[in-house]
């Protein structure tokens, strides 16, 4: 005789990536059964290797733009598959557009089929080079569709529209979170984002390469806080979009100096040209997340930076 299982089951697309791997870990800790789908385009099986002995965890190599087939019940679909760093999506423009469109269509189809809650990982990049500051969810953004970054920004904007269409047309319990820059262990040292780049350069004693004069700002959130916010949204019934990020804003130049100090490195600072359409400012207004989810970041940025540096030091083979 079979028995009715009360275990909740989650599917995480892009689960072998930076954020996805932390989500899988956290979901397992919360008692979920977790199916991780990933084609290892920008993620690595090593990111979830420590979860493989867990009997509630399964890793399946699969390109979500081909199809998604999952047997059995599913309660939650977290759609995180997508190249996410500028270096990645500039090298993989078609894959980025495909996973944001066709991949999202398939992930929504899975959630509809199973009657599951669906959460789309969208991004602050939907705000483009913003004309309002800080950015709240009512702002529509300033995106150049034919600029180099358009492949990512527009894929996510399309994915948001598709998610809302599934909600209104099919009554799907679907939601959008707009994630701002998140950092922590398992970021790829060579992925071109500011924090892993500065940490790698500082640990190797190489010059820290600052784009432009470094006065452009970023707001950076430690991964544990972002994951907490995503799960709060997964367990809410609100459609969003909801910004998740740390309003602690700092200039790229100050970030470089801070990382250099924390690593004790003697690296010099080097100034390189700014990439086209690089946003000048970035800061989330998180009032909605505070009101709806009672969520706000808790980890001080300095603690997060120390933990990240520690992880990079422990993985010299990657640096
Ligand atoms: P990541 O590159 O580490 O993870 C993305 C994962 O998706 C990788 O494991 C990759 O192999 C997988 N993937 C890509 N295309 C796929 C496909 N067609 N089929 C199956 N798997 C595929 O990036 P991340 O930083 O962990 O970002 C995860 C998600 O969060 C992305 O959707 C990204 O847009 C979003 N996001 C991240 C941040 C951040 O600061 N890290 C900010 C905003 C939004």
54 within some domain: yes
Tell me the two tokens of residue 62.
Answer: 């699969």
211 within some domain: no
14, 104, 244: which to mutate for ligand 1, most atoms within 8 A of CB? 14
For residue 12, CA distances in Å to 9, 24, 53, 117, 121 come to 10, 7, 18, 12, 11
DSSP label at residue 280: S
DSSP label at residue 207: P
Number of H helices and E strands in the chain, helices first, is 10, 13
CA 276 / ligand 1 centre spacing (Å): 22
156 within some domain: yes
307 within some domain: no
pLDDT of residue 5: 63
Q: State how far the Cα of 6 lies from the Cα of 184, in Å rounded to an integer.
A: 32
pLDDT of residue 52: 97
Full residue range of the structural domain in which residue 40 is found:
9-183+221-247+283-298
Tell me the backbone φ, ψ of residue 266, rounded to 5 degrees.
-100, 15
Whichever domain contains 165, its CATH number is 3.40.50.720
CA angle centred on 286, ends 277 and 211, rounded to 5°: 25
pLDDT of residue 38: 98
207 within some domain: no
For residue 62, CA distances in Å to 125, 141, 218, 315 come to 26, 33, 33, 27
> What is the number of the ligand 1 atom nearest to the C-alpha of 103?
18
Q: Among 157, 155, 81, 79, which Cα is nearest to 118's? A: 79
Tell me the two tokens of residue 229.
Answer: 């916010």
pLDDT of residue 172: 98
> What is the number of the ligand 1 atom nearest to the C-alpha of 152?
34
CA 95 / ligand 1 centre spacing (Å): 12
Q: State how far the Cα of 20 lies from the Cα of 43, in Å rounded to an integer.
A: 9
268 within some domain: no
pLDDT of residue 282: 86
pLDDT of residue 239: 97
CA 129 / ligand 1 centre spacing (Å): 21
Q: Among 60, 75, 107, 77, which Cα is nearest to 9's? A: 75
257 within some domain: no
Q: State how far the Cα of 145 lies from the Cα of 128, in Å rounded to an integer.
A: 10
Give, for all 319 residues of the chain, the pLDDT tens digit: 344 567 999 999 999 999 999 999 999 999 999 999 999 999 999 999 999 999 999 999 999 999 999 999 999 999 999 999 999 999 999 999 999 999 999 999 999 999 999 999 999 999 998 999 999 999 999 999 999 899 999 999 999 999 999 999 999 999 999 999 999 999 998 888 899 999 999 999 999 999 999 999 999 999 999 999 999 999 999 999 999 999 999 999 999 999 999 999 999 999 999 887 778 888 999 999 999 999 999 999 999 999 999 999 999 888 8
pLDDT of residue 73: 97
CA 14 / ligand 1 centre spacing (Å): 6
> What is the number of the ligand 1 atom nearest to the C-alpha of 82?
14
Q: State how far the Cα of 305 lies from the Cα of 262, in Å rounded to an integer.
A: 8
pTM (two decimals):
0.96
Instruction: Catalogue the E-assigned strands of the chain.
Output: 9-13, 33-38, 57-61, 76-79, 117-123, 174-179, 182-183, 208-211, 217-219, 221-222, 242-244, 249-251, 269-272
For the annotated catalytic residues, the residue numbers are: 152
Tell me the backbone φ, ψ of residue 128, rounded to 5 degrees.
60, -140
Is 31 buried (19+), middle (13-18) or exposed (0-12) by CB count in 10 A? exposed
Q: State how far the Cα of 117 lies from the Cα of 27, in Å rounded to an integer.
A: 14
Total of domains in the chain: 1
197 within some domain: no
**Residue list, ligand 1 pocket, CB within 6 Å:** 13-14, 16-20, 37-43, 63-65, 80-84, 99, 103, 121, 123, 179, 181-182
pLDDT of residue 318: 80
Tell me the backbone φ, ψ of residue 294, rounded to 5 degrees.
60, 30
Q: State how far the Cα of 143 lies from the Cα of 129, in Å rounded to an integer.
A: 7
Angle at which helices 301-314 and 194-204 pack, to 10 degrees?
50
Q: State how far the Cα of 108 lies from the Cα of 117, in Å rounded to an integer.
A: 10
């Amino acid at each position: 005789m079979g028995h009715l299982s009360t275990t909740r089951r989650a599917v995480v697309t892009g689960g072998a990536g930076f954020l996805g791997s932390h989500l899988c870990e956290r979901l397992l800790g919360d008692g979920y059964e977790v199916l991780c789908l990933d084609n290892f385009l920008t993620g690595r099986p090593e990111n979830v290797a420590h979860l493989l002995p867990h009997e509630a965890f399964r890793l399946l190599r699969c390109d979500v733009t081909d199809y998604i087939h999952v047997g059995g019940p599913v309660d939650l679909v977290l759609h995180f598959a997508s190249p996410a760093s500028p270096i990645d999506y500039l090298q993989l423009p078609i894959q980025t557009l495909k996973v944001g469109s066709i991949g999202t269509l398939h992930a929504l189809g899975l959630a509809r089929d199973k009657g599951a809650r669906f959460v789309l990982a969208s991004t602050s990049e939907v705000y483009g080079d913003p004309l309002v500051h800080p950015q709240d969810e009512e702002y529509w953004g300033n995106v150049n569709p034919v600029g180099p970054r358009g492949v990512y920004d527009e894929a996510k904007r399309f994915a948001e529209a598709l998610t809302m269409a599934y909600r209104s047309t099919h009554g799907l319990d679907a939601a959008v979170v707009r994630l701002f820059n998140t950092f922590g262990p398992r970021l790829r040292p060579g992925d071109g984002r500011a924090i892993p780049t500065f940490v790698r350069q500082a640990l190797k004693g190489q010059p820290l390469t600052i784009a432009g004069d470094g006065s452009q700002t970023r707001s950076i959130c430690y991964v544990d806080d972002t994951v907490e916010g995503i799960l709060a949204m997964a367990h809410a019934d609100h459609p969003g979009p909801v910004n998740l990020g740390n309003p602690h804003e700092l200039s790229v130049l100050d970030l470089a100096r801070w990382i250099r100090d924390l690593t004790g490195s003697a690296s010099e600072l080097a100034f390189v040209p700014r990439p086209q359409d690089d946003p000048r400012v970035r800061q989330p207004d998180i009032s909605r997340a505070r009101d709806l989810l009672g969520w706000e970041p808790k980890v001080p940025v300095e603690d997060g930076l120390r933990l990240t540096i520690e992880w990079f030091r422990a993985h010299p083979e990657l640096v």
